[in-house]
Amino acid sequence: MAIADWPRSEQPRERLLTRGAAALSDAELLAVLLGSGVRGKDAVALGRELLQSGGGLASLMAGTEPPRMSGLGPAKHARLCASLELARRALGEELERGAPLLDPVDSAAYLKARLRDHPHEVFACLYLDNRHRVLGFEELFRGTIDGASVHPREVVRACMRHNAAAVIFAHNHPSGVAEPSAADRTLTLQLREALQMIDVRVLDHLVVGSGLPVSMAARGLI
């Protein structure tokens, strides 16, 4: 049965308009974005399949784009890509409103959304001023699934370009295991020593996996 044949009070769009978006399930919200289903599958069923294929809402939000699947044509795919990117940018905007970062949790959600589902390792940096307000974000280095080659000289140049007083590093582990490796610890110390030469402080290095990002500062590794 098509959603148009459901009782009007049960249709996702009508429920959203009368009761608010919070009243809808994840699949129903996706159905509103999709606009319509496909032959033999209504938009809510398509939303459920998308969530299942994408590994759940968190994985879908963190990924670079929604998974391609039967029935998800170019228009629907583009609409979802745009919606997910808007959500990721909203996370970033929270960091750019001038409030200082006082805790690893403040930046963890944003960094996880940006890095978690890359198929290869990516090393990124949040640049901060002397009050720990965000100046910018960059993905500096990309590698294979086995690791990224990070050059301290380039990190120093990037910090000078942003006129940063402090930085928070982050990189993902495509395996999903966020435990810092011995190489991660060595690299962090090398970068800290290099940045001390230009009076830039390394506040943290977050390792992003499938769960909560691991703060190396909280582990006492910086």
Query: What is the DSSP annotation of 109-139?
Result: HHHHHHHTT-SS-EEEEEEE-TT--EEEEEE
Fold of 100-215: Cytidine Deaminase; domain 2 (3.40.140)
For 67-71, 120-124, 183-187, 192-196, which range has the lowest pLDDT when averaged over its residues?
67-71
Domain boundaries, the chain: 3-92, 100-215
pTM score: 0.64
Query: DSSP state, 160?
Result: H
Condensed to tens digits (0 to 9), the pLDDT of residues 20-76 reads: 988 888 888 888 888 888 777 888 988 888 888 767 776 666 555 666 776 677 888
Asked if residues 136 and 165 have their Cβ atoms less than 8 Å apart, the reply is no
CA dist 219 and 222 (Å) reads 8
7: pLDDT strictly greater than 80: yes
Asked if residues 203 and 168 have their Cβ atoms less than 8 Å apart, the reply is yes
Condensed to tens digits (0 to 9), the pLDDT of residues 156-165 reads: 999 999 999 9
What percent of the chain stands above pLDDT 90? Answer: 33
Structure tokens at 1: 């049965």
